[in-house]
Amino acid sequence: MTKLSLSKEKIKVVLLEGVHPDAETLFRQDGYNNIHIYHSTPDDHELQEILSDTHILGIRSRTQLKGCNLAVCEKLMAVGTFCIGTNQVDLEGCKSQGIPVFNAPFSNTRSVAELVMAEIILLLRGIPEKNAKAHRGQWFKSALNSNETRGKTLGIVGFGHIGSQLCILAEAMGMKVKYFDIVNKLPLGNSEAVASLNELLPQIDVLSLHVPDTELTQNMIGAKEMALLPKGSFLVNAARGHIVVIEDLVDALIKEHLHGAALDVFPIEPASNEDPFESPLLEFDNVILTPHIGGSTQEAQVNIANEVADKLIKYSNNGSTSSAVNFPEVSLPTLHSDLTRVMHIHQNKPGILERINHAFSSQSINIAAMYLQTSGDVGYVIMDVNCESSETIVQKLNGIEGTIRVRILH
Ligand code: NAI
């Protein structure tokens, strides 16, 4: 089957939107040299043209893969979103065409945690207000309401990648950390798990939110929750905009129940840097407002480039789909040099495996190893077989009803 597998030189890799150059480097180091770099975002027509002969596509958040006709992208093998989210991709459409999508969901964990830690220090010292006044020519030298972090209690809601990283930084600064998570999470350092949100809120000086946007977390922090926070405490939200009820936050700030806040995310965010940013929080000097840049650092871009390129290369080289967002996940061993790897992506229906097995047995081909995973209506079976060359088998596999794609590696 050697001639049926695509060599690395023939695999066309297209990286759009100025993906960090480390991604290209990784592909080249692995022997891929048919790489095309675009710094711009293609319009729908250009994108469709690119897709017609691309095997591996790398995009960031602006390229809209939702409106594309994926059914005609026969060569497209895999998509990498060199960012955190995958909203710009028709994940189900890709899956039904046998195209796994990879992203880098946790590459900017440290960046967010560092920003939040910095904001906690600034809020506790009353810096946002002093800074705003200084910009207006006012000298506000005072130690009133200005505190060190040491000994203060930080409440973290959502003890996942970012929440737990923040815990480490906060403890290093001498803070006590208490956290609430719906899943049982082992404490790090001296941190302490608390059984409920309501139990956590009265015990803390600063509340920092690190939960995903779900039905449960929408409007999670409103008037009732803010009232449970001690007077003079602070709120930080670098998670998602809908978690905090902004009108209730405004109210708590006007009443000086909360002494300040830092927000990186908002219920409505401008679509681009050219659009205006509007929020009732603009008038508060004691509120730090940042344009959803918690994870936007050079280090995070490098992490993203390496993580996504690595996943795409692994899929291309040996078929592994570990941590694909839309696809059956399989982690495969390196292919033995004597064997050929046949990857069959199919509709997850009864009887397909039997027909695949029959395709091999009817040709007297021995299957040395077989791996299978399904996800919803798509199945992914990988067979390492003892045979050198057979177009017949590929034709037979393609002929099985419900087959989406067949790929060969040698
Ligand atoms: P993660 O998935 O590692 O952690 C989330 C944690 O929240 C999990 O431990 C989960 O069990 C917990 N959780 C979920 N629902 C909960 C609930 N109702 N109550 C309590 N705990 C709950 O996610 P990660 O990477 O730590 O991200 C956290 C948030 O930060 C996400 O909303 C993400 O979108 C946001 N984020 C923001 C960025 C920015 O630029 N500001 C950049 C990266 C992530």
Pick the residue whose CA is nearest to atom 35 on ligand 1: 239
pTM of the full structure: 0.88
Cβ-based neighbours of 26, under 8 Å, separated by 6 or more:
305, 306, 309, 310, 313
Whole-angstrom Cα distance, residue 48 to residue 63?
11
Q: Candidates 162, 269, 289: which one to mutate for ligand 1, based on the most atoms within 8 Å of Cβ?
A: 162
Give residues (CB < 6 A) around ligand 1.
84, 106, 108-109, 112, 157-163, 180-183, 210-214, 216-217, 238-240, 264-265, 292, 294-295
What is 111-150 written as a DSSP string?
Answer: HHHHHHHHHHHHHHTTHHHHHHHHHTT------TT---ST
Taking the centre of ligand 1 as the mean of its atom positions, its distance from the CA of residue 126, in whole angstroms, is 27
Query: How far apart are the CA of 100 and the centre of ligand 1, in A?
Result: 24
Neighbours of 256 (CB within 10 A): 11
In order, the DSSP letters of 216-233 are: TTTT-BSHHHHHHSPTTE
At residue 295 the predicted structure's pLDDT band, cuts being 50, 70 and 90, is very high
> What's the whole-number average pLDDT of the chain?
95
**What's the CA gap between 33 and 24, in Å, rounded?**
9
Structural domains for the chain: 1-108+298-323 (3.40.50.720), 109-289 (3.40.50.720), 328-410 (3.30.70.260)
For residue 1, pLDDT beyond 70: no
Residues belonging to the active site? 240, 269, 292
Task: Note the pLDDT tens digit of each residue in 15-32.
Answer: 999 999 999 999 999 999
Nearest-atom index, ligand 1, CA of 106: 25
Per residue in 99-124, pLDDT (tens digit) is: 999 999 999 999 999 999 999 999 99
Does 171 have pLDDT greater than 80? yes
The alpha carbon of 161 and the centre of ligand 1 are apart by a number of angstroms equal to 7
pLDDT 10s digits, 231-272? 999 999 999 999 999 999 999 999 999 999 999 999 999 988
Question: Is the pLDDT assigned to residue 273 strictly greater than 50?
Answer: yes
